[in-house]
Amino acid sequence: MTTRTEPARSPSPGTAPAGRRSHVPGDGSATAAAVEAARKGMLHDARDLKRTRIGADVLCEALLRQGVDVFFSYPGGVILPLYDVLGDYPELRHVLVRHEQGGAHAADGYARVTGRVGVCMGTSGPGATNLVTGIGTALLDSVPMVAITGNVPSALIGKDAFQEIDINGITLPMTKHNYLVRDADDLPRVIAEAFHIARSGRPGPVHVDITKDALQQETRAEHPSEAEVVAGLPGFRPNLGGHTRQLKTAAGEIAAAQRPVILAGHGVLHAEAWDDLRAFAEKTSIPVAWTLLGIGAMDETHPLAYGYMGMHGWKHVNRAIQSADLLIAIGMRFDDRVTGNVRTYAPYARIIHVDIDPTEIGKNVAVEVPIVGDAGRVLRALAPMVPETSMDDRRAYLDQLADWRRDSEASSWHGSGAWREGVLSADYVVQRIGELTDHQATYVADVGQNQMWLARYAGFRNPNSHVSSGGLGTMGFSVPAAMGAALGRPDRETWAITGDGGFQMTFQELMTLVADHIPVKIALLDNKKLGMIRQWQEIIYAGNYHSSSLPGPDFVKLADAFGIPAFRARTPGDVDDVIRSAQAVDGPALIWFEIAEEQNVFPMMPAGKGLSDLIEKWDGPDE
Amino acid sequence: MTADPNSNGRLPVADATTPRATTPAPSHAPPTRALPGSGEVRRHVLVAVVLDKPGVLNRVSSLMRARNFNIDSLAVSHTDRPDVSRMTITLHGDDVAVEQAAKQLYRLIDVLKVQDVTSEPTVEHELALVKVRATDGNRAEILQLVELSRGRVVDLAEGSVVVEVTGTEAEIDAFVALVRNYGIKELVRTGAVVMARGSGSIEEAIKR
């Protein structure tokens, strides 16, 4: 450890800029020595700090070098050295969240709509543990994120100091990598590595813990180039291009297949490979199904776009998978919500599995053709190797899929038109939000029924326009993630679609929306229930409703208390008016949709069952 | 079956695993998809070359725990390169599960190379120290066993001898079984270390 002592603290008002506080706690002005040091070149580019450059400056410089324009944070004791210098970096927008979990989800939402690394911060102890849910959410959904926490001074580490917790130990199994920095000289390298790791290969969260003394320590350490960063990480060499022999095998499988289906996942979005996917599908006339996180990889109006798969996916899509003779899985991981019982999954299909992470291949299902690589690169390499096949060549197959789709859409609750009889149905609300925003907004789901309704009925046209906590299933995700998504893509309207349960977990961020003028429109689908829990209790637990009824407050009054215009809808006839009213608000707005209390999401595949065992409606237990 | 915690003490009538007919049974049953792995479970030896950084052992052991792999032994040491350490991990599993473990290990940023050397010609050694109960009556007998097992007595005391033995896991198991009748007061084993025979080098093959 090379923590240096602070420069002598003789006050010298003549050399300190008037009104400028020093970074040194308890010191009223910059010292002559510090100013001298600054003049000798301890500057960030042309920035003349008129004081010593400390670890906290290095952190700000590193964030700017990484192209960070906004981050989400909450101050606390040991991260105060950062807050002491933040004023010198006005181009780094700091959003003061109301809870660190909100900050982590906001960074996540920002990352998902921009494809860039989201940044959140917190102090030691509770600040750090509050970030953990957000870090876990990012890990399970492979979202590039750098989470930074302060920690107690090095000398106090391991002493159970005030607000000390072994946050490195906590985040170890739930990050791609993590760091503890005790020396400011290490900061430039560590921050650069953290961003490189977070966004390269399969993206994911990286946690950097920095001791208070490192943040305060004077340093001249220089920032590494990207080449130096790569050279310094000999154990991190993501494999991007597919193996030629496997690509040839895959091309042969595709040429021979009669009933192929493409399964598009989040990896297509991470690789920004949506054009490659569409071109590949068009050349081969293979229909495309998508996972929850693969929504947006294909414009849903495209003739080859077939639909959303899995536990609450469309029956026709699951049917196509169950009858397929070839699955071309791209950037997805055969999650249990996608496959159900693996033994009965796609029983007739051979599988080509493209994923950038070799651990995903052969993890959940055995595959015939493994291809490790970036979705875009593999699709571009594969496209010239496969024969051109027109939709007419596949006419009989595609006609059958079209029949199945008509049948499945007509048989859903949505197709039944229940909302026309005066019941305010959630799927109708979601459908109208999609239509009245011309399908051009960013739509951020919470978790549970609202998430499934959104995935099924909003109608997605654009990549990175759907944000959803798929892997971890984090209730309370929607409002804070929408906050980050709105800042990441201010050119789009941002809608948070949430239920009354998730909303009540993180609605403190309403105040952040107001304070920072972040124009998120919140559609609160209130069935006064934990709807998905209630649905499971009804269907799987014989109607034993325990703790799934959830009385809530008057949400219009609640929003009003935050200064957010709020609207209330109770019947289908109210829906268009309230959506248009919310859109007309310059800033955040909330709509309280009092939806049918006992509406279920169908079809539904009970956990442990297979894709062919969908429940399509429920009239009570079989007797 | 345990009662659901939210069931007010009543047993749930049905749970997620109870079959419930929702679709008509197909006229002929579709084929069943094979699960990954589920092959023969046997002992595997993995060699991992890792960066010598704080916490790397913790990362490896945490991963094995989180991914539900059971480590039989783990030996860690320096190599000839100052920044590189080497781990020898023995574990039981089927080929697919162990391949998954190796891939997961390789994914760690600080891990440079992972190799499953189970099917390769290797030199495998483990060292054990065994404190055996000894009396004036049987000490000579024990010393003879030690000699026959190519072991070495490293400490002699009133009532006990400490024996150092090296060899494969099976050879040490055999020695321990031999002296068990005299009474084992203490036993410590390093876990296996292995090296591939021939001129190939895992250190020279690490990713760069």
The whole-number pLDDT of residue A240 equals 87
At A553, the pLDDT band (50, 70, 90 cuts) reads very high
- The CA distance from A545 to the nearest CA of chain B, in Å, is 8
Give me the residue from A197, A540, A541 closest to B109, CB to CB: A197
Contact list, A616 vs chain B (CB under 8 Å)? 22
- The CA distance from B194 to the nearest CA of chain A, in Å, is 22
- The CA distance from A293 to the nearest CA of chain B, in Å, is 23
B-proximal residues of A, 465-524, CB under 8 Å: none
Contact list, B8 vs chain A (CB under 8 Å)? 544, 546
The whole-number pLDDT of residue A29 equals 41
The whole-number pLDDT of residue B204 equals 81
Nearest residue in chain A measured CA to CA from B11:
A541
User: Is residue A148 classed as helix, strand or coil in its secondary structure?
Assistant: strand
A244-404: which CATH number, 3.20.20.70, 3.40.50.150, 3.40.50.1220, 1.10.3720.10? 3.40.50.1220
Interatomic CA distance for residues A132 and A109, integer angstroms: 16
The whole-number pLDDT of residue B37 equals 72
The whole-number pLDDT of residue A303 equals 97
DSSP string, A459-496: ---STT-EE---SS--TT-HHHHHHHHHHH-TTS-EEE
CATH fold for domain A413-594: Rossmann fold (3.40.50)
* Dihedral sign from CA coordinates of B143, B146, B150, B152: negative
First to last CA, chain B: 52
**Taking the CB of residue A573, how many other CB atoms lie within 10 A of it?**
10
What value does the mean pLDDT take over residues B172-176?
Answer: 95
Give me the residue from B22, B26, B207 closest to A237, CB to CB: B207
As for the ipTM of the complex, it is 0.85
A608–B108: do the CB atoms touch at under 8 Å? no
- pTM given for the model: 0.89
What value does the mean pLDDT take over residues A470-481?
Answer: 98
At A24, the pLDDT band (50, 70, 90 cuts) reads very low
pLDDT in tens, A524-541: 999 999 999 999 999 999
Q: Is A162 among the catalytic positions?
A: yes
pLDDT in tens, B136-172: 999 999 999 999 999 999 999 999 999 999 999 999 9
Contact list, A535 vs chain B (CB under 8 Å)? none
Interatomic CA distance for residues A615 and B13, integer angstroms: 18
Which has more pLDDT, A166 or A617? A166
Q: Is A521 among the catalytic positions?
A: no
Percent of chain A with pLDDT over 90: 83
Most B CBs within 10 Å, among A363, A537, A614, to test the B interface: A363
pLDDT in tens, A80-99: 999 999 999 999 999 999 99
The whole-number pLDDT of residue A35 equals 44
A540–B108: do the CB atoms touch at under 8 Å? no
pLDDT in tens, B16-70: 343 433 444 445 678 888 777 767 889 999 999 999 998 999 999 999 988 888 8
- Report chain B's mean pLDDT, rounded to a whole number: 84
A-proximal residues of B, 153-192, CB under 8 Å: none
Task: Confirm whether A35-231 and A413-594 share one CATH topology.
Answer: yes
At A434, the pLDDT band (50, 70, 90 cuts) reads very high
Most A CBs within 10 Å, among B23, B109, B112, B206, to test the A interface: B109
Contact list, B100 vs chain A (CB under 8 Å)? 359, 362-363
Contact list, A364 vs chain B (CB under 8 Å)? 36
Measuring CA to CA, how many Å separate B129 from each of A463, B142, B149, B187?
Answer: 62, 14, 13, 6
3-class DSSP string for A296-329: CCCCCCCCCEEEECCCCCCHHHHHHHHHCCEEEE
Most B CBs within 10 Å, among A202, A535, A544, to test the B interface: A544
Spans of all domains in chain B: 42-120, 123-194
Question: Which CATH code for domain B123-194?
Answer: 3.30.70.1150
**Does position A176 have pLDDT exceeding 60, yes or no?**
yes
A170 interfaces chain B, CB cutoff of 8 Å: no
The whole-number pLDDT of residue A186 equals 97
The whole-number pLDDT of residue A413 equals 63
A598 interfaces chain B, CB cutoff of 8 Å: no
Phi, psi of A216 (to 5 degrees): -95, -15
**Does position A344 have pLDDT exceeding 80, yes or no?**
yes
Which has more pLDDT, A607 or B58? B58
Give me the residue from B23, B33, B106 closest to A343, CB to CB: B33
Residue showing tokens 């068990």: B180
A622 interfaces chain B, CB cutoff of 8 Å: yes
- The CA distance from A567 to the nearest CA of chain B, in Å, is 35
Catalytic residue among A61, A100, A253, A538: A100
Interatomic CA distance for residues A485 and A105, integer angstroms: 10
B106–A358: do the CB atoms touch at under 8 Å? yes
B83 interfaces chain A, CB cutoff of 8 Å: no
**Does position A454 have pLDDT exceeding 90, yes or no?**
yes
The whole-number pLDDT of residue B16 equals 37
pLDDT in tens, A292-342: 999 999 999 999 999 999 999 999 999 999 999 999 999 999 999 999 999
CATH fold for domain B42-120: Alpha-Beta Plaits (3.30.70)
A365 interfaces chain B, CB cutoff of 8 Å: yes
**Does position A412 have pLDDT exceeding 90, yes or no?**
no
**Does position A121 have pLDDT exceeding 50, yes or no?**
yes
B17–A608: do the CB atoms touch at under 8 Å? yes
The whole-number pLDDT of residue A621 equals 57
The whole-number pLDDT of residue B154 equals 96
Most A CBs within 10 Å, among B17, B22, B32, B108, to test the A interface: B22
Interatomic CA distance for residues A464 and A110, integer angstroms: 10
pLDDT in tens, A574-595: 999 999 999 999 999 999 999 9
Interatomic CA distance for residues A501 and A445, integer angstroms: 13
Q: Is A555 among the catalytic positions?
A: no
Give me the residue from A236, A606, A615 closest to B16, CB to CB: A606
Spans of all domains in chain A: 35-231, 244-404, 413-594
Domain A35-231 has CATH 3.40.50.300: no
* Dihedral sign from CA coordinates of A262, A284, A254, A614: positive
Nearest residue in chain B measured CA to CA from A621:
B20
At B9, the pLDDT band (50, 70, 90 cuts) reads very low
